[in-house]
């Protein structure tokens, strides 16, 4: 039996109610009363489950109030627990005391949906800005997104540290380099970091609201633009969630092609990251060489699939780009060359003692902390958590590919870099395996339209980590809610923890080793 279901059964007893609308049916879900919501979290904590996501949905169109959902993960299992809050009393018990990532999920729910987590320690707005009116809740159905927002006076109070020699360094949101905007507030004594507070939301584009205005087909295009560098994984996550709702079975060839795109995206991004990490330690040689290798990948992508980042090539029901024998040949040749040069560069990285001095023991995220913030992806695997959706919740074709995912326990910058190195090699192996076994046949089928009041869930391992999508169909089979949880939503918390006790000039290196998405977080 399932560990998670076993854990909540004693808490709920006879109250246990399955949520029939959710697809895929392999993922258990249940509806509990508000009083039991926090208790189920306690039960989840007792079996060491992790919180994957928490979100709210405005269900007034169904004649209900708000639905608040918490998604837990334990190894391969997922469990979604829902509770409902009536429209005139929009509150629910906070989970923050049990699960740290709920801290930001709930602030987000509070700011954007206007549902208050009771007992939450910090209800400053998150993502929403302080100069928005307090009762502007953009994710509510009653909110008109076409009207300009009236501006009011507001102030965001940062955490303060006091004492002799303590000073503040505000960094951003506009940075000297060409990177996304985010504000970092350091409290430091000399060069030692006492505290780091992140302030994100500068690239809030209203993506979740925008989904609700689109058709199901158009949705995959928008999903591909949630975070530009993860376009493949995001559109895959969206399409998989939609396909589980409509019961569409994707042709086998399309599934393997999707995996091919996903792994190519992973390699390209890891190459870029490895170079960028070294560049932040002023080892520019690596940046240019890695960028060169990345460029080779991107150009091949453009040549074979018509887009450098393979954007919009994964669509509901299949894929929009195929590969022929020549293309296979080209990829194999490219990978052979790539692997050879990559190994040479890794040797340089590994044997340069001045570089090693910078990356080792810098920005350590200890495994306990990683577990506490429910980290995912590269960050989790560098801190001893063996989490990978490709392995634990294998979506096809990964159920037929043996994976050898690297896990390190040191949790420092080097560990996060080294996980990437090993993953590049592993992905090259996977791509070769995909090209070997790529079945013939159709690449696209009709995706269909979901039935009213159903929801779909998917978890995909993008290059940063697990991406979660949750879709809900409204009364007229339109998109009622699309919840996107990029790995950045939880991993940004890890950065705050990892830099504690480090020195200020090491922050860029720590930050680059996390390399979380601002856009994917702010939505």
Residues that bind another protein (CB under 8 A): 167-171, 175-177, 191, 278, 280-285, 288-289, 292, 352, 354-355, 357-358, 503-508
Which C-beta is closer to another protein: that of 63 or that of 505?
Answer: 505
What Cα–Cα distance (Å) separates residue 301 from each residue in 315, 328, 370?
17, 12, 34
Which C-beta is closer to another protein: that of 12 or that of 276?
Answer: 276
The token pair at 299 is 């150009």
For tokens 């503040």, what's the residue? Answer: 168
- Residue 196: CB minimum distance to another protein, A: 11
Cα torsion 313, 318, 322, 328 to 10°: value is 100
| Cβ contact 55:117 at 8 Å | no
What is the per-residue DSSP string for 184-222?
A: EEEEEETTEEEEEEEE--TT---HHHHHTTS-HHHHHHH
- Residue 281: CB minimum distance to another protein, A: 4
- Residue 172: CB minimum distance to another protein, A: 9
Distance CA 342, CA 329 (A): 20
Which C-beta is closer to another protein: that of 74 or that of 283?
Answer: 283
> 166: which strand partners?
189
What is the per-residue DSSP string for 221-260?
A: HHHTTSSGGGHHHHHHHHHHHHHHHHT----HHHHHHHHH
| Cβ contact 85:498 at 8 Å | no
Which C-beta is closer to another protein: that of 78 or that of 418?
Answer: 418
- Residue 295: CB minimum distance to another protein, A: 12
Which C-beta is closer to another protein: that of 265 or that of 273?
Answer: 273
Cα torsion 382, 54, 196, 172 to 10°: value is 100
Which C-beta is closer to another protein: that of 256 or that of 507?
Answer: 507
- Residue 36: CB minimum distance to another protein, A: 46
CA 312 centroid distance within chain: 19
Which C-beta is closer to another protein: that of 357 or that of 446?
Answer: 357
Which C-beta is closer to another protein: that of 393 or that of 502?
Answer: 502
Distance CA 45, CA 208 (A): 29
- Residue 505: CB minimum distance to another protein, A: 4
- Residue 354: CB minimum distance to another protein, A: 4
- 157 CB-contact burial (10 Å; exposed 0-12 / middle 13-18 / buried 19+): exposed
The token pair at 379 is 């960050």
> Which stretches does DSSP call E strand in 291-414?
314-315, 318-319
- Residue 509: CB minimum distance to another protein, A: 8
- Residue 298: CB minimum distance to another protein, A: 18
| Cβ contact 337:464 at 8 Å | no
Stretch (H or E) spanning 409 = none
CA 116 centroid distance within chain: 24
Distance CA 258, CA 264 (A): 10
| Cβ contact 316:242 at 8 Å | yes
Which C-beta is closer to another protein: that of 156 or that of 167?
Answer: 167
Helix (H, G, I), strand (E, B) or coil at 163: coil
- Residue 177: CB minimum distance to another protein, A: 4
Stretch (H or E) spanning 518 = helix 518-522
Which C-beta is closer to another protein: that of 207 or that of 510?
Answer: 510
- Residue 510: CB minimum distance to another protein, A: 10
Helix (H, G, I), strand (E, B) or coil at 57: strand
| Cβ contact 116:90 at 8 Å | yes
Helix (H, G, I), strand (E, B) or coil at 314: strand
- Residue 288: CB minimum distance to another protein, A: 5
Which C-beta is closer to another protein: that of 169 or that of 451?
Answer: 169
Which C-beta is closer to another protein: that of 148 or that of 177?
Answer: 177
């Amino acid at each position: 039996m399932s560990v998670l279901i076993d854990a909540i059964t004693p808490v709920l007893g006879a109250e246990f109610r399955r949520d029939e609308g959710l697809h895929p049916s392999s993922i258990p879900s249940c509806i509990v009363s508000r009083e039991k919501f926090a208790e189920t979290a306690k039960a989840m904590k007792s079996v060491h489950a992790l919180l994957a996501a928490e979100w709210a949905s405005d269900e007034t169109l169904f004649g209900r109030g708000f639905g608040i959902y918490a998604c837990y993960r334990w190894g391969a299992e997922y469990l979604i627990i829902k509770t409902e809050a009536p429209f005139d009393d929009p509150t629910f018990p906070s989970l923050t005391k049990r699960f740290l990532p709920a801290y930001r999920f709930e602030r987000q729910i509070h700011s954007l949906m206007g549902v208050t987590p009771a007992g939450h320690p910090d209800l400053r707005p998150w993502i929403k800005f302080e100069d928005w009116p307090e009762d502007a809740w953009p994710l509510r159905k009653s909110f008109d997104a076409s009207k300009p927002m009236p501006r009011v006076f507001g102030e965001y109070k940062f955490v303060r540290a006091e004492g002799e020699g303590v000073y503040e360094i505000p960094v951003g949101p506009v940075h000297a380099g060409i990177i996304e905007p985010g504000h970092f507030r350091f409290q430091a004594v000399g060069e030692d970091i006492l505290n780091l507070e992140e302030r994100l939301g500068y690239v809030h584009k209203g993506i979740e609201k925008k989904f609700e205005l689109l058709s199901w087909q158009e949705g995959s295009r928008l999903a591909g633009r949630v975070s530009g560098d993860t376009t493949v994984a995001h559109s895959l996550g969206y399409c998989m969630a939609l396909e589980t709702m409509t019961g569409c079975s994707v042709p086998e060839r399309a599934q393997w092609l999707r995996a091919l795109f996903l792994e190519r995206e992973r390699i390209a991004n890891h190459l870029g990251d490895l170079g960028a990490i070294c560049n932040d330690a002023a080892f520019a040689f690596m940046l240019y060489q890695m960028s060169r290798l990345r460029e080779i990948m991107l150009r091949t992508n453009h040549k074979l699939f018509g887009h450098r980042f393979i954007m919009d090539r994964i669509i509901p029901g299949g894929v929009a780009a195929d590969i022929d024998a020549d293309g296979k040949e080209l990829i194999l040749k490219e990978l052979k060359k790539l692997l050879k040069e990559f190994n040479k560069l890794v040797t340089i990285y590994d044997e340069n003692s001045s570089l090693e001095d910078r990356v080792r023991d810098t920005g350590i995220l200890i495994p306990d902390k990683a577990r506490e913030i429910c980290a995912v992806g590269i960050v989790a695997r560098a801190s001893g958590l063996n989490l990978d959706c490709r392995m634990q919740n294998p979506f096809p074709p990964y159920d037929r590919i043996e994976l050898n995912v690297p896990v390190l326990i040191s949790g420092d910058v080097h560990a996060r870099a080294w996980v990437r190195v090993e993953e590049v090699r592993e992905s090259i192996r996977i791509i070769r395996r995909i090209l070997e076994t790529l079945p013939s046949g159709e690449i696209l089928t009709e995706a269909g339209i979901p039935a009213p009041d159903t929801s779909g869930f998917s978890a995909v391992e993008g290059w940063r980590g697990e991406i979660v999508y949750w879709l809900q169909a409204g009364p007229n089979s339109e998109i009622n809610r699309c919840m996107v949880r990029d790995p950045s939503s939880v991993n940004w918390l890890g950065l705050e923890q990892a830099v504690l006790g480090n020195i200020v000039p090491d922050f860029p290196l720590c930050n680059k080793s996390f390399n979380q998405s601002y856009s994917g977080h702010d939505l």
